Structure 1
Amino acid sequence: PQPAPGGPGRPPGTPDPYGGQPQAPRPAVGATGTGGKRRLTMFLAGVVGVLVVVAAVFFLTRPDGGGKDANAAKSPSPSASSDPTPPPGVKCSGSSCTGKDAESMGCSGDLVTTAKTAALGTATLEVRYSKTCGAAWGRITGGTQGDQVRVSAGKVRQSGDITEVGDTIAYTPMVAVKDAAEAKACATLASGRTGCTK
């Protein structure tokens, strides 16, 4: 009598000498899923790589050329360029001086020059300019009560006048200018005579 295929006495997986199919060996414990884990690791590595490339392209092609620091280095803020920090004793600079008194803001004294002059009868009309403050103002000297002085820079105008008997000087509040050439002073005397600096 022939033993039955895969019968007792024969280990599994050995060929059957009687023409039967060998039994398939059972997979080893822990061998299941190794290919799946490897595929998952490769997929995640690919996703991370794609994200790194996308992030690099986005960062390098942004209109501001990078982060906030790159943008800040390229262009200073408008207030920093037009109104620099004034030195000690000076209380305004540029647009912050407009409408203010030159003497009380620390813009006169050694910081001022006479940029333009015009004679008007016995009075002298001047454009006074402080580069440190970035401002100009008009002044009239040798005047009398009722004389008026004006200063203008673009559309901005300021005026001052001699109000007291015996006073001979009047000056205007300041106007912001980048240089003295932007400012023009005009005067109207109590006598009705008028004139301007050139």
Structure 2
Amino acid sequence: TQRGTAPAPARHPDRPYDGVPNQGARRPERNAPGNADGASGSGRKAGGTGPGNAPGGRRKGLMLAVGAVGALIVVVGAVLLAPGGDEAAKATPPPSATPTTGATELPLGVECSGADCAGQNPEAMGCGGEFARTVASAVVGGSKVEVRYSKVCSAAWARLTEAAIGDTVQITGGADPQNGEVMGDTDAYTPMVAVKKASDAEACATLTSGTKGCTGPGE
């Protein structure tokens, strides 16, 4: 007998070949007598679906997959919540911020601040000019004495103007008073004293005539 290709299974007249029954048509019992699909050796199950492709099997497989994913989520959550479960996350600490020294950055040209300014020349250290202001003043004889204060440098000094050679001026308020003398001009100023605020400083002038006078506290 010559071998050939087996004939394709005949389609049921009231049921599509893809296994979806027609509405209103009664689906034959599986393996019932007279059911050609159940009795055939084509390997197809009743209803025309191939092996393992029954709609119920697909739903069952999907439910198993969903259940497996849910179980995996529960296990992962339990591991993370358990004591020591987050040790891996703790193993690499977050980068810490670079510690700051707490020192204030000084403007360009300013060379000192606070105690570093004590005994220093205010002009040479860049504390004068735009960074200084007169916070107290007084008239002594025909001269004017002032307290000059620099917030940037946290320092103060005394200035004497319209004075004569030999007149002296002093600033107090820091650890050590600082003195200045008119040497060949009509004005003089003292080195700086470190102060926390302007009101800590006071300036006094002593003229060659013997006249003395002081400012009030700086404001």
Q: By the TM > 0.5 criterion, same fold?
A: yes
Partners of 2:174 and 2:194 within 8 A in 1: no
Q: Which residue of 1 aligns with 2:199?
A: 181
Partners of 2:175 and 2:193 within 8 A in 1: no
Paired residue secondary structure (1:181): helix
Per-residue CA shift, 1:10-58, capped at 9, x if unaligned? xxxxxxxxxxxxxxxxxxxxxxxxxxxxxxxxxxxxxxxxxxxxxxxxx
Q: Which residue of 1 aligns with 2:214?
A: 196
Q: Which residue of 1 aligns with 2:109?
A: 89
Greater shift, 152-161 or 124-133, is seen at 152-161
Runs in 1 of length 4+ with deviation above 4 angstroms?
none
Distance 1:191 1:136 in 2: 26
- What letter corresponds to residue 107 of structure 1 in structure 2? C
Distance 2:123 2:152 in 1: 13
Q: Which residue of 1 aligns with 2:56?
A: none
Structure 1 unaligned blocks of 5 or more: 1-68
Partners of 1:98 and 1:175 within 8 A in 2: yes
Distance 1:92 1:85 in 2: 10
Q: Where in structure 2 are the equivalents of 1:57-136 lying within 5 Å?
A: 80=102, 84-136=104-156
Q: Where in structure 2 are the equivalents of 1:16-95 lying within 5 Å?
A: 80=102, 84-95=104-115
Per-residue CA shift, 1:156-196, capped at 9, x if unaligned? 200000112xx111000001111110001011101111111
Task: Select the residue among 145, 163, 176 that pairs with 2:183.
Answer: 163
Higher alpha-carbon Rg: 2
Q: Measure how far apart 1:152 and its partner are.
A: 0.6
Paired residue secondary structure (1:90): coil
* 1:138 lines up with 2:158 in the alignment: yes
Distance 1:116 1:181 in 2: 9
Q: Measure how far apart 1:154 and its partner are.
A: 4.4
Distance 2:175 2:122 in 1: 20
Partners of 1:147 and 1:189 within 8 A in 2: yes
Structure 2 unaligned blocks of 5 or more: 1-95
Partners of 2:174 and 2:195 within 8 A in 1: no
Partners of 2:174 and 2:193 within 8 A in 1: no
Q: Where in structure 2 are the equivalents of 1:9-20 lying within 5 Å?
A: none
Q: Which residue of 2 aligns with 1:52?
A: none
- What letter corresponds to residue 110 of structure 2 in structure 1? V
- What letter corresponds to residue 143 of structure 1 in structure 2? A
How many residue pairs get aligned? The number is: 122
Aligned-residue RMSD, C-alpha: 2.2
Q: Measure how far apart 1:84 and its partner are.
A: 2.9
- What letter corresponds to residue 177 of structure 1 in structure 2? V
- What letter corresponds to residue 153 of structure 2 in structure 1? C
Paired residue secondary structure (2:177): strand
* 1:148 lines up with 2:171 in the alignment: no
- What letter corresponds to residue 109 of structure 1 in structure 2? G
